[in-house]
Amino acid sequence: MNGSQDDNDRIVITGIGAISSVGNDRESVWRAVRHGVSGVRRLTGVPLIPDGMMLGAPVDIEPDEPGGLKVTALCLHAAEEAIRDAGNALAATAPERFGCAISGHIGDLDWIAEQVGRNDLIAPGKVPWVQQWLPNSTCARVATRYGLHGPRICHSTACASGLIDFLSAVRAIEDGQCDAALAGSAEAIHPLFAAGFRQMRVLAEHDDPQAACRPFDADRRGFVMGEGAAMFVIERLACARRRGAKIYAEVLGGRMLADAHHVTGLSAESDTLAHLITGTLRRSRLAPADIAYINAHGTGTQQNDVMETRGIRMALGSAAQRVCVSSIKSMLGHLVNAAGSVELAITALALRDGFVPPTLNLTNPDPECDLDCIPLVGRPIQFEHALKISVAFGGHLAAVALRRWDEAAAGRVGRAA
Task: Tell me the per-residue pLDDT of 165-209, one tens digit each, with 9 for 90 and over.
Answer: 999 999 999 999 999 999 999 999 988 788 888 877 888 989 999
Which residues, other chains included, contact 128 with Cβ-Cβ below 8 Å and sequence gap of 6+? Answer: none
Mean pLDDT score, 317-327: 97
pLDDT at 367 (0 to 100)? 97
What mean pLDDT is predicted for residues 73-93?
97
Q: What is the pLDDT of residue 264?
A: 52
Q: What is the pLDDT of residue 46?
A: 83
- The pTM assigned to this predicted structure is 0.93
Share of the chain above pLDDT 70, in %: 92
pLDDT single digits (tens) 354-397:
999 999 999 999 999 999 999 999 999 999 999 999 998 777 89
Indicate the average pLDDT of the chain. Answer: 91
Residue 415 scores a pLDDT above 50: no
pLDDT in tens, 18-76: 999 999 999 999 999 999 999 999 999 887 788 888 999 999 999 988 888 999 999 99
Query: How many whole angstroms separate alpha carbon 309 and alpha carbon 334?
Result: 18
Examine the pLDDT at 413 and tell me if it is beyond 50.
Answer: no
410 pLDDT tier (thresholds 50, 70, 90) = low
How many helices (H) and strands (E) the chain has is answered by 13, 15
Given a cut of 70, whether residue 269 has pLDDT beyond it is no
Task: Identify the structural domains of the chain with CATH numbers, from first to last.
Answer: 5-242 (3.40.47.10), 253-404 (3.40.47.10)
Average of pLDDT values for 131-152?
A: 93
CB distance 351 to 402 below 8 Å: yes
Whether residue 112 is predicted with pLDDT greater than 80 in this model: the reply is no
Q: Please state the length of the chain.
A: 417
pLDDT for 256 beyond 70: yes
Catalytic positions, please? 159, 297, 334
Q: Is 231 in contact with 184 (CB distance < 8 Å)?
A: yes
Distance linking the first and last C-alpha atoms of the chain: 23
**Whether residue 416 has pLDDT greater than 60:** no
More confident residue, 241 or 108: 241
- Tell me how far apart the alpha carbons of residues 311 and 293 are, in angstroms, rounded to a whole number: 15
User: In this predicted model, which residue has the larger pLDDT, 221 or 126?
Assistant: 221
Band of pLDDT at residue 127, cut at 50, 70 and 90: confident
Q: Residue 282, SS3? A: helix
Tell me the C-alpha distance between 328 and 343, whole Å: 7
Are 164 and 185 a contacting pair, CB within 8 Å?
Answer: no
